[in-house]
Each structure stands twice: as C-alpha cells, then as structure tokens.
Amino acid sequence: MKRALIPNIEPTIKTEDAVNDKALADQLKELKIKHDWTTVKVTPNRINGCAFHPSNAKLLGCAIDVEGYLGFWDIEGQDEDGEPVVYNYRPHTRTATDIKFDSFDQTKLITSSYDGLIKIFDMNKAEFETLDLGSDRFPITSFDIQQDGQLIWFSTSDGEIACVDKRKGGNPKVYTLREKKIGCIHINPIHQDLLAAGSNDRTATIWDKRKLKKDPLQSFDHGYSVTSCYWSPNGDILATTSYDDYIRLFELSKEKKELNLKSAIPHNNHTGRWVTNFRARWNYNKYHGLEHQHFVIGNMGQTVDIYSGMNGKELIQLYDEDHITAIPSVIQFHPSTADLTLLTGNASGRMVCWNI
C-alpha cells in the first residue's frame, strides 16, 4: 500500500522532542542474555503469548502456544544435569490466544483459546479450573481483567466483546461491535471505563464500557488489520500495531475527551503465516516504566526493538548473535523487578531472558 493511501500517519499533535531519554537508554544498553543455554524450549510449538510471574522473588517465565500448550520456565534454575527447568501442560485443544496473571491473586494464571474456554491455573495446586461461560462457545482472541478483579472482558473472532463475572461465571453479556475479528482488547489502567479494540476491519476503536450498545467514542482507520492496541501504564497513550507497517501512538487529552495521533512509526509488521503477530507492549514496571513510558516489539531482522512512548524515538535494538537464531515475535517486560528484565519467545517454542 502506498504511503499516500495509508490513513492516520500524519500526527495531529506535536510530540515531545525534548524528552530526556539518556538515563533510560543507558539502562537499556546494559540488557544482556546471561543464561548458559542458547535458547530454552518452553512449549512444543509456536509461542503465541508470554508473561512473567509478577513476583520478583524468582524469575518464572510462562508461555502459551498455537497447539494449546502452557509452558513454564524457571529462568535461574537448572536440574541436576545442568539443564533448564521447564514443564508444561495442555489446557486447551486449539490455539491459546492470551495469558495473564490475576492481579488480585498471583497464584492464579488465566489463559484463553479459540477452543472457547477460559482456564484458570492454580499455581499451588497445579490444577486447572474452567470458567463457566454458559452453553455457548466463543472463539476467544484476547481478554482483560478489570482492576476490581471481578469482571473478565474478552473479544472473539466474530467481532464480539463480552464480559463475565470471574467468580460466578455464567452466560456472558455479549456485544457484537464489529463485522470482522477483534484480535485485541485492553482496558485503560487509569480510566477504567475506556476500552480499546483492534480489529481485522482495519480499525482501532475506543469504547465506553458502560455504553457498548452505542457507537464507539472514536474510530481510527489503519491501512490493514490492527494486530494490537494497548494503553500505556499512565493511561495517557494508546499504541496500535498494524499490518500496514506502522506503530501508531495516540495521546489521550487531559480532559479524557479524545485521542489524537502523536506519532506514526514505520515498522515492518508483515510477520506472515508462521510468525506470531507483532504487538507493541508497554513496560508496566513501577520502577522504570512509569516516568519515561516505553514499549517493546519484535523485528523481522531478529532484533528486539524498544521505543519511547513520549516521542516515538527508537531507544535501542537488542541483538545477541550467540543466542538469537529466530524472530523474537512475542515479548514482555517483567512487571516488578528492580532492574529491567525482558522475556522473548519465537516460532519454535523457544525463549530467552534479557536482564541486567
């Protein structure tokens, strides 16, 4: 698609060019892969999502794959033979689509899948519970949890958004909002009424969760499918990723009335069939993710790209020729370590950890 035909790539508000990013950039330069193994096989198949256990007492990486497996990696541990400590389960029969720890109970890990199930894994008991969603099966693509810990919101490949009480289960409230797949939803961490949705209909839409029967508050056209849309930790910036090869940053006005495009960053997002879609993921860590908001995304050139959320500037491209042999398409920051820590996963089910 020619640049002139791609919508929403000319900023409508000025970016903060004078942002001092030196301290953050210097920290990022210290990131290294320290474990002895080149990569660690965590799931049998292509990784579709990952997460760190939120505790900083022990580095535990988690990953889901396209065959429904859930894998765990004790990053700093090794068995008696010096091999990595990895174990996995298969809670789903189809592609696992999203993974998050319950913010109210760190012993509970939640996963979703195209098989229509939301599973809750009890880390202490090593047991799965299936959340009751009534008699219907929904092809679930992503989910998010309200800060009160009560409602789980999820999206489907049929263009629906639904919510269900995590404690009680039962028939969800379902809203058909788009004609095509909604692949990503995210609730604003500060303004909990605002929900962002990215769709294959080439739009990122903003909704008031209290008024889903009405039109979206705003809709932003993209050149191709929107593969991700995530709010920054301070709730004031929305980052979208699209197959039109741009990452867009939209800034929320202080009056919380509207979003405006502040930056459109050229980035090759054509991952193709065998690589998981790139998703620009924010650093939510309270020690180093809030003052200068920044995000990470994979790269077809096998690097890990980190950008400033304040002005869209690329801060660093991480690469290690001794460890990186495939595209690190799935990446997350650790939410609570005092030092920067990153987990990446690839199409072979392999992971590495970057830290300082």
pLDDT exceeds cutoff 90 at 103:
no
For the chain, give the mean pLDDT.
Answer: 96
- Of the segments 8-12, 160-164, 255-259, which one has the largest average pLDDT value? 160-164
Q: Is the pLDDT of residue 15 over 90?
A: no
pLDDT tens track for 281-335:
999 999 999 999 999 999 999 999 999 999 999 999 999 999 998 999 999 999 9
Q: How many distinct structural domains can be found in the chain?
A: 1
Q: Does residue 3 carry a pLDDT above 80?
A: no
pLDDT, average across residues 213-241: 97
The string of pLDDT tens digits covering residues 165-181 is 998 899 999 999 999 99
pLDDT exceeds 80 at position 4: no
Q: Encode pLDDT of 106-124 as tens digits.
A: 999 999 999 999 999 999 9
The neighbouring-strand residues paired with 108 are 122
Spatial CA neighbour of 152 closest among 136, 169, 175, 135: 169
Q: What is the domain extent for residue 293?
A: 3-14+22-355
How high is the pLDDT of residue 312?
96
pLDDT in tens, 132-169: 999 889 999 999 999 988 999 999 999 999 999 998 89
- Supply the CATH number for residue 305's domain: 2.130.10.10
Q: For residue 232, what pLDDT is reported?
A: 99
